[in-house]
Structure 1
Amino acid sequence: MAKSTNNTSTAKGIYPVTGMSCASCANNIESATQALTGVVNASVNFANEKLLVEYNPQLIQPGALKEAIRQIGYDIELDESVDTSQAHQQKLSSLRFKTILSIILSAPVVFIGMFWMNMPYANEIMLILSTPVIFWLGKDFFVNAWKQARHRKANMDTLVALSTGIAYIFSVFNMIFPQVWHEIGLHNHVYFESAAVIISFILLGRYLEEKAKESTSGAIKKLIGLQPDEVTILYEGKASAILLSAVKIDDILLVKPGEKIAVDGVVVDGSSYIDESMLNGEPMPVQKKQADKVFAGTINQNGSLQYKAQKVGKDTLLAQIIQLVESAQGSKAPVQKLVDKIAGIFVPVIILLSIVTLITWSVLGENGFSQGLYAMITVLIIACPCALGLATPTALMVGIGKGAEKGILIKDAESLEVAKSIDTIILDKTGTITEGKPLVTHIEWFNKKEKDEQILYSLEHLSDHPIAKAISNHYSDMLPVAVQNFENYTGRGVKASFEGKNYFAGNRFFLEENGIQLNYSIPAELLKHAPTIIWMAEDTTVKAMISIADTVKTGSVEAIRQLQAKGMEIHMLTGDNADTAKLIAEQVNISHYQADMLPQQKAAFIEVLQKEGRKVAMVGDGINDSTALAQADLSIAMGSGSDIAMDVAQMTIISSDLNKIVAAIELSKQTSNTIRQNLAWAFIYNLIGIPVAAGVLYPFNGFLLNPMLAGAAMALSSVSVVVNSLRLKWKQ
Structure 2
Amino acid sequence: MKESNVHTELHVTGMHCANCAISIHKYLEKNGAKDINVDFAADEVKFSDIPQEQIPMLIEGIESLGYKVIDDQDDKPGFWHSIEFKFFCCLIFTVPLWSHMFTAYPLLHDPYIQLCFCIPVYVIGFSYFGISALRSLWNKMPNMDVLILVGSTAAFIYSLIGTGYNLGHDYQFYETCATIITLVFLGNVLEKRAVKKTTSAIKDLIKYQNVDAIKIDGDQEITILAKEIKSGDILKVNTGNQIPVDGDILEGQGWVDESMLTGESMPVEKLKYHAVIGGTLLTEGNIRIVATKVGSKSVLYQIIQLIKDAQSKKPPIQKFGDKVAAYFVPIVVSISFFTFFITYFIAQLPMQQSLMNAIATLVVSCPCAMGLATPTAVMVGLGRAAKKGILIRGGSTMEEMSELKQMVFDKTGTLTTGDFNIKAIQTFGIEQSQVESIIAQLESYSSHPIAKSIRKQLKEIKPFRIIFKEVHEIRGKGIFATDTNGNSYSICNAKLGSKDYSNRYDLTLTINEVVIAGIVLEDQLKPYAKELIQYLKDKGIRPILLSGDRQSKCERTAQKLGIADVYWDKSPEEKLEILHKLKKKGPTAMVGDGINDAPALTAADVGISLGDSTHVAIQSAKVILLNSDLRSIEKLLKIGHHTLLAIKQNLFWAFAYNIVAIPLAALGFLGPMVAALSMAFSNLIVIGNSARLRFKKLK
The TM-score, its normalising length taken from structure 1, stands at 0.82
Please say if 1:706 is aligned against 2:688. Answer: no
Over 3 Å counting, the alpha-carbon distance change for 1:196 and 1:653 in structure 2 is same
The separation in 1 between residues aligned to 2:420 and 2:71, in whole angstroms, is 48
The separation in 1 between residues aligned to 2:520 and 2:215, in whole angstroms, is 46
Counterpart position of 1:43: 37
CA displacement at 1:556 relative to structure 2: 2.0
| 1:259-318 deviations in Å (ceiling 9; x for gaps) | 111111122221111101111101111111012111111111111112222111111111
Please say if 1:192 is aligned against 2:180. Answer: no
| 1:216-270 deviations in Å (ceiling 9; x for gaps) | 1111111111235321222435433233223222222211101111111122221
Unmatched segments (≥5 aa) in structure 2: 429-438, 458-467, 480-489
Return the match for 2:399 from 417, 422, 430: 417
SS in 2 for 1:107: helix
Over 3 Å counting, the alpha-carbon distance change for 1:112 and 1:74 in structure 2 is same
Aligned length: 673
Counterpart position of 2:59: 66
Please say if 1:244 is aligned against 2:226. Answer: yes
Please say if 1:584 is aligned against 2:557. Answer: yes
The separation in 2 between residues aligned to 1:336 and 1:479, in whole angstroms, is 69
The separation in 2 between residues aligned to 1:358 and 1:312, in whole angstroms, is 62
The separation in 2 between residues aligned to 1:648 and 1:161, in whole angstroms, is 49
- Asked if 2 retains the 8 angstrom alpha-carbon contact of 1:622 and 1:638, the reply is no
Question: Residues 495-510 of structure 1: matches in 2 within 5 Å?
Answer: none
| 1:609-654 deviations in Å (ceiling 9; x for gaps) | 2222x22111111632112112221111111398585421111110
Counterpart position of 2:144: 156
SS in 2 for 1:570: strand
CA displacement at 1:78 relative to structure 2: 4.5
Return the match for 1:688 from 655, 660, 668: 660
Question: Residues 403-552 of structure 1: matches in 2 within 5 Å?
Answer: 403-438=385-420, 493=476, 511=496, 517-520=498-501, 533=506, 549-552=522-525
The separation in 2 between residues aligned to 1:567 and 1:71, in whole angstroms, is 53
CA displacement at 1:467 relative to structure 2: 6.0
- Asked if 2 retains the 8 angstrom alpha-carbon contact of 1:44 and 1:52, the reply is yes
Please say if 1:557 is aligned against 2:530. Answer: yes
CA displacement at 1:196 relative to structure 2: 0.6
Over 3 Å counting, the alpha-carbon distance change for 1:121 and 1:706 in structure 2 is closer
Question: Residues 229-628 of structure 1: matches in 2 within 5 Å?
Answer: 229-438=211-420, 493=476, 511=496, 517-520=498-501, 533=506, 549-612=522-585, 614-621=586-593, 623-628=595-600
Return the match for 2:606 from 634, 648, 651: 634
Over 3 Å counting, the alpha-carbon distance change for 1:151 and 1:283 in structure 2 is same
SS in 2 for 1:520: helix
| 1:521-541 deviations in Å (ceiling 9; x for gaps) | 566xxx6xxxxx36899xx99
The residue identity in structure 2 corresponding to 1:154 is P
Please say if 1:83 is aligned against 2:74. Answer: yes
Percent of aligned positions that are identical: 34
Over 3 Å counting, the alpha-carbon distance change for 1:78 and 1:563 in structure 2 is farther
- Asked if 1 retains the 8 angstrom alpha-carbon contact of 2:364 and 2:676, the reply is yes
The residue identity in structure 2 corresponding to 1:570 is P
The residue identity in structure 2 corresponding to 1:159 is L
Please say if 1:110 is aligned against 2:83. Answer: no
CA displacement at 1:581 relative to structure 2: 1.6
CA displacement at 1:119 relative to structure 2: 6.8
CA displacement at 1:413 relative to structure 2: 0.6
SS in 1 for 2:171: coil
CA displacement at 1:96 relative to structure 2: 2.7
- Asked if 2 retains the 8 angstrom alpha-carbon contact of 1:467 and 1:548, the reply is no
Over 3 Å counting, the alpha-carbon distance change for 1:415 and 1:479 in structure 2 is farther
The separation in 2 between residues aligned to 1:34 and 1:382, in whole angstroms, is 30
- Across the aligned residues of Structure 1 and Structure 2, the Cα RMSD in angstroms comes to 4.0
Counterpart position of 1:724: 689
The residue identity in structure 2 corresponding to 1:189 is Y
| 1:170-222 deviations in Å (ceiling 9; x for gaps) | 1100111246xx9xxxx852211110111111111111111111111111111
Please say if 1:647 is aligned against 2:641. Answer: no
Counterpart position of 1:30: 25
The separation in 1 between residues aligned to 2:132 and 2:516, in whole angstroms, is 79
Over 3 Å counting, the alpha-carbon distance change for 1:641 and 1:217 in structure 2 is farther
The separation in 2 between residues aligned to 1:274 and 1:630, in whole angstroms, is 33
The separation in 2 between residues aligned to 1:256 and 1:578, in whole angstroms, is 51
Over 3 Å counting, the alpha-carbon distance change for 1:704 and 1:63 in structure 2 is same
Counterpart position of 2:431: none
- Asked if 1 retains the 8 angstrom alpha-carbon contact of 2:571 and 2:596, the reply is no
Return the match for 2:111 from 120, 123, 139: 123
| 1:681-732 deviations in Å (ceiling 9; x for gaps) | 111110011111111xxxxxxx542100000000010111111111001113
- Asked if 1 retains the 8 angstrom alpha-carbon contact of 2:211 and 2:242, the reply is no
CA displacement at 1:76 relative to structure 2: 3.5
Counterpart position of 1:698: none
CA displacement at 1:424 relative to structure 2: 1.4
- Asked if 2 retains the 8 angstrom alpha-carbon contact of 1:518 and 1:542, the reply is no
Over 3 Å counting, the alpha-carbon distance change for 1:472 and 1:355 in structure 2 is farther
- Asked if 1 retains the 8 angstrom alpha-carbon contact of 2:94 and 2:118, the reply is yes
The residue identity in structure 2 corresponding to 1:569 is R
CA displacement at 1:349 relative to structure 2: 1.3
Counterpart position of 1:52: 46
The separation in 2 between residues aligned to 1:150 and 1:92, in whole angstroms, is 29
CA displacement at 1:53 relative to structure 2: 2.0
The residue identity in structure 1 corresponding to 2:663 is P
The residue identity in structure 2 corresponding to 1:578 is Q
Counterpart position of 2:120: 132
Over 3 Å counting, the alpha-carbon distance change for 1:29 and 1:549 in structure 2 is same
- Asked if 1 retains the 8 angstrom alpha-carbon contact of 2:599 and 2:620, the reply is no
CA displacement at 1:583 relative to structure 2: 2.5
SS in 2 for 1:302: strand
Most deviating of 233-242 and 552-561? 233-242
SS in 2 for 1:430: coil
| 1:462-493 deviations in Å (ceiling 9; x for gaps) | xxx9669979999xxx999999xx9x9xxxx5
- Asked if 2 retains the 8 angstrom alpha-carbon contact of 1:102 and 1:133, the reply is yes
Over 3 Å counting, the alpha-carbon distance change for 1:636 and 1:172 in structure 2 is same
Return the match for 1:17 from 12, 15, 18: 12
The separation in 1 between residues aligned to 2:25 and 2:305, in whole angstroms, is 20
The residue identity in structure 2 corresponding to 1:607 is H
Over 3 Å counting, the alpha-carbon distance change for 1:723 and 1:303 in structure 2 is same
